[in-house]
Amino acid sequence: MAVLILDTCINCGACIDECPVEAIVDEDDNPTGEEIYYVYPDKCVECVGYHDEPACATACPTEGCIVWDAVGESPEHREDITDEMRANHTPVVE
């Protein structure tokens, strides 16, 4: 994965509109069944090549809702984010 949306998500849609690779879906299409938005880990590129930081987190009005998560099968990820930041689910924007 790249970024993760926590259960503090208010389902406002701001992140969906900002994702350049359409990796985010709303609660209706969340494969986990949770009532929050979901980031597909195999699609998310952490906005590498698009923005200086993940645009979803910049657009999100809920503080700390979008956090770093483990690198998985994502095609791109930010090299400057430490394993500790990912393991601790550090907010992308503080």
Which domains, and CATH codes, for the chain? 1-94 (3.30.70.20)
pLDDT at 1 over 70: no
**Nearest-5° Cα angle at 34, 85 to 17:** 70
In terms of pLDDT, which residue wins out, 13 or 72? 13
pLDDT in tens, 16-41: 999 999 999 999 999 999 999 999 98
pLDDT in tens, 39-85: 998 899 999 999 999 999 999 999 999 999 988 776 778 888 988 99
Inter-residue contact 67 to 90 (CB < 8 Å): yes
In this prediction, residue 84 carries a pLDDT of 93
Q: Which of 49, 58, 40, 53 is nearest to 80 (CA)?
A: 53
In this prediction, residue 91 carries a pLDDT of 95
